[in-house]
């Protein structure tokens, strides 16, 4: 008798737990869950629900934020809407970096431009303090009109830079032939908006028009799927299917390289 009377109650508990799990999985992380303002405190604005952050830059200061934790491998995504209008001379950076003297770093740098000219995206990889691995592409859309997803998939075999799930660059682990690869230094996730007019637009020929200030870049999607420990082999990004691009991803990468890449350090003979 007792068993029969308890069964409906037990079923109700299970249903309640499932409902709570469903809603908790759909809840997005806020800025404050995973990030702190790193500089320009009065130039960072958060929405009331902390689901959107804005970095501002004017003559007085730029601004930036960084993750509370450091990560060693993972999948990192951020939805960004870049500076609109005349963004020449501005640099919006979204990157990962360690804070050691021989640092590792994985960079997205969005180089502002004059209206109608379009943004350039520069990617770079530092390993043990050595960089100079820049590639530049033109985006095939206006990144200031809406939010777009920019991603870094980082595991022990490769680093994949993505734009709206399209791979734009792959940096493979080629330690076997003497090329350093970032794999030992945990890195923070960082974004900054700063004055790069000395080099960012047309080699520094086009300067910032301060009459257009404040310049604003906006951010959403603050979830982090990364590992702070050094033993991360069990995580999904270390599984075999993420060690190389599949054929569809390769086709997308080649499409970007063929149509939108205009600089590759591997092909630069000037140095």
How many CB atoms within 10 Å of residue 160? 22
- Name 104's bridge partners: none
What residues pair up with 80 in beta bridges, in sequence order?
A: 148, 219
Residues annotated catalytic, as ranges: 105, 109
Distance CA 58, CA 213 (A): 5
Alpha carbons within 13 A on the beta-carbon side of 105: 23
> CB within 8 A of 232, min separation 6: which ones?
72, 73, 74, 238
Q: What is the mean pLDDT of the chain?
A: 88
CATH tag for 2-267 (out of 2.40.110.10, 1.10.1060.10, 2.60.120.200, 3.40.630.10): 2.60.120.200
Strand partners, 94: 108, 191
- Report how far apart the first and last C-alpha atoms of the chain are (Å, whole number): 86
Domain residue spans of the chain: 2-267
- Give 50-111 as a DSSP string: SSEEEEEE-SS--EEEEESS-BSSEEEEEEEEPPPS--TTEEEEEEEE--STT--EEEEEEE
pLDDT for the residue 100:
87
- Quote the tokens at residue 233: 């082999």
The predicted structure's pLDDT at residue 8: 46
Summarised one tens digit per residue, pLDDT across range 17-30 is: 333 333 333 346 89
- Per-residue confidence at 225, pLDDT binned at 50, 70, 90? confident
Please tell me the distance from the alpha carbon of residue 59 to that of residue 63, in angstroms, as a whole number.
12
- Residue 238 confidence (pLDDT) above 70: yes
**What's the burial of 114, exposed, middle or buried (CB within 10 Å: 0-12/13-18/19+)?**
middle
Q: What is the pLDDT of residues 156-213, one digit of tens each?
A: 999 999 999 999 999 999 999 999 999 999 999 999 999 999 999 999 999 999 999 9
> Is the pLDDT score of 14 beyond 60?
no
Residue 265 has pLDDT above 90, yes or no: no
DSSP codes joined into one string, 15-61: HHHHHHHHHHHHPPPPHHHHEEEEE-GGGEEE-TTSSEEEEEE-SS-
């Amino acid at each position: 008798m007792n068993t029969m009377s308890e069964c409906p109650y037990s079923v109700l508990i299970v249903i309640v737990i499932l409902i709570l799990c469903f809603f908790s999985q759909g809840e997005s992380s806020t800025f404050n869950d995973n990030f702190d303002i790193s500089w320009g405190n009065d130039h960072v604005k958060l929405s009331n629900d902390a689901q959107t952050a804005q970095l501002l830059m004017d003559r007085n200061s730029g601004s930036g934020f960084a993750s509370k934790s450091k990560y060693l491998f993972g999948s990192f995504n951020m939805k960004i809407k870049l500076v609109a209008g005349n963004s020449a001379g501005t640099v919006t950076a979204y990157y990962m970096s360690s804070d050691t003297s021989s640092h590792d770093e994985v960079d997205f740098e969005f180089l502002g431009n004059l209206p109608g000219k379009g943004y350039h995206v520069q990617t770079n990889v530092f390993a043990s303090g050595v960089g100079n691995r820049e590639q530049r592409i033109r985006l095939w859309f206006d990144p200031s009109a809406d939010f777009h997803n920019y991603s870094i998939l980082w595991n022990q075999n490769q680093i994949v830079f993505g734009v709206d799930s399209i791979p734009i660059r792959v940096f493979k682990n080629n330690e076997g032939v003497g090329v350093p690869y970032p794999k030992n230094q945990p890195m923070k996730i960082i974004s900054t908006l700063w004055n790069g007019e000395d080099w960012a637009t047309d080699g520094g020929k086009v300067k910032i028009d301060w009459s257009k200030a404040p310049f604003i870049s906006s951010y959403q999607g603050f979830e982090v799927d990364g590992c702070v420990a050094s033993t991360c082999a069990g995580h999904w990004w270390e599984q075999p299917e993420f060690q190389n691009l599949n054929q569809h991803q390769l086709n997308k990468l080649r499409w970007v390289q063929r149509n939108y890449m205009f600089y590759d350090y591997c092909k630069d003979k000037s140095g």
